[in-house]
Amino acid sequence: MYKVIYPTIITGLLVLFTSVMLSLFSKSWDPKSKHCYVTGGSSGLGLAVAKLLVSKGAHVSIVSRDARRLENAMKELEAVRTSPHQILRYYSYDLVTAAGSREALDAVCEPHQGKNPDAIFMLAGSCHPRFFIEETEETMRTQMDQTYWVQAWTALEASKRMVRDKSKGKIVFHSAYIGYITLIGYAAYGPGRMALRALADTLRQEFLLYDIDVHIAFPGTMYTPGYDIENATKPKITLKIEETDPGVTGDQYAKGLLRGVQNGDFHISPDLLGNIFRASMRGVAPSGNFIVDSLWNFIGWIGLPIWRMSVDSTVKGHKKEHEEYLTSKGFCMFCLNAGEAGLHTDQI
């Protein structure tokens, strides 16, 4: 690979410049009259995206587990419909298994003559941070279900159908800042969020074979019902580190997400910090404007190590308080004999 770099630097710059120019004249995707399937669509970001899509004239199907929340969400969707012909539906399924995801897709396609959705927004999931040594086999697996599998199964089932039927479409994954830059407290959550990024990166390339578009969004703090659940188990030190993140509402983020999808962006990070993280974790993901992204890369190159050193120093300063916390939780911090005390994955 590296053998070709030097003679092609100028060519590369020209190609990138040309693609930026071309993108200025490309037509953006319009959700009007499209069938959009939104998982996790009964609350938070899912509901915000579903409402936005309905307000733009799309047919929208939402799926989540809680039937009562779905009913309330449907009222909000009905309130913003722009035409009596829009098909708005809600379904209750658990998407953390392949079977549940398949059944949900069957149900969602039914009012559309069995046709696959034109776009799938995978926004279901939840976050439960805690210290790694407090995790158990169950909490680790549940967090992987709620980050990775809840999207991976829908992507798998949907893409099999799309390839079988030769239908084009969009698959939109949903990661988080933590999918770029993890923090203390996210040892169970971060891996699933980064795993989604790997899946999206792979599928973006693989689905060039089928003309299926792949997107993935990386939001930061969002003030949604899920945020309160997340903070219930979040270690104090993590809350402290995150207190400078200003955060946005689900409605605010939904607009940025949909704009990214409409523009054809692959990694969607519609804010300053997200862009710095994206450029510092770009890998081979197609990026946006070369000049602007060079700036994000430079800022991240200088700024992120400084930020990391500051966070590391905060963590080290938390040692004493953490020892007290562990002692209060029953961890024996002063046993020299391994047999004396302690706890295993199945004992917490």
Q: Using CB under 8 A, which residues numbered 218 to 247 contact a second copy?
A: 244
Q: Please report whether residue 319 would count as binding a second copy according to CB under 8 A.
A: yes
8 Å CB contact between 263 and 28: yes
Q: Which residues contact 264 (CB under 8 A, 6 or more apart)?
A: 23, 26, 28, 29, 213
Nearest alpha carbon to residue 190 among 306, 312, 277: 277
Residue number, 36 or 49, with CB nearest to a second copy = 36
Nearest 5°: CA angle at 304, between 133 and 2? Answer: 105
8 Å CB contact between 79 and 86: no
Residue number, 46 or 274, with CB nearest to a second copy = 274
Nearest alpha carbon to residue 162 among 231, 209, 229, 98: 209
8 Å CB contact between 127 and 226: yes
Could you say which of 55, 182, 233, 262 contacts a second copy (CB under 8 A)?
182
Nearest alpha carbon to residue 295 among 275, 309, 281: 275
Stretch that binds a second copy, among 56-64, 72-80, 150-158, 222-230 (CB under 8 A): 150-158
Nearest alpha carbon to residue 61 among 145, 121, 149: 121
Residue number, 14 or 79, with CB nearest to a second copy = 14
Q: Please report whether residue 286 would count as binding a second copy according to CB under 8 A.
A: yes
Binding residues among 86-115 for a second copy as defined by CB under 8 A? 97-99, 102, 109, 114-115
The Cα–Cα gap between 261 and 36 comes to 12
Residue 25 CB, shortest distance to a second copy, in Å, is: 20
Could you say which of 55, 140, 233, 262 contacts a second copy (CB under 8 A)?
140
Q: Which residues contact 123 (CB under 8 A, 6 or more apart)?
A: 38, 39, 40, 41, 44, 45, 46, 49, 174
Could you say which of 86, 116, 146, 224 contacts a second copy (CB under 8 A)?
116
Binding residues among 49-78 for a second copy as defined by CB under 8 A? none
Residue number, 179 or 226, with CB nearest to a second copy = 179
Q: Please report whether residue 249 would count as binding a second copy according to CB under 8 A.
A: no
Pull the structure tokens for residue 260.
């990214």
Stretch that binds a second copy, among 20-28, 37-45, 64-72, 126-134 (CB under 8 A): 126-134
The Cα–Cα gap between 145 and 274 comes to 24
Q: Please report whether residue 150 would count as binding a second copy according to CB under 8 A.
A: no
Q: Please report whether residue 9 would count as binding a second copy according to CB under 8 A.
A: yes
Q: Please report whether residue 338 would count as binding a second copy according to CB under 8 A.
A: yes
Residue 187 CB, shortest distance to a second copy, in Å, is: 4
Residue number, 249 or 314, with CB nearest to a second copy = 314
Q: Give the three-state DSSP class for 244.
A: coil
Could you say which of 88, 108, 120, 281 contacts a second copy (CB under 8 A)?
281
Could you say which of 37, 148, 218, 253 contacts a second copy (CB under 8 A)?
148
8 Å CB contact between 158 and 214: no
Residue number, 79 or 87, with CB nearest to a second copy = 87
Pull the structure tokens for residue 35.
């069938």
Q: Please report whether residue 22 would count as binding a second copy according to CB under 8 A.
A: no
Residue 179 CB, shortest distance to a second copy, in Å, is: 8
Residue 145 CB, shortest distance to a second copy, in Å, is: 11
Stretch that binds a second copy, among 42-50, 54-62, 217-225, 286-294 (CB under 8 A): 286-294
Angle between helices 290-317 and 5-24 (to 10 degrees): 100
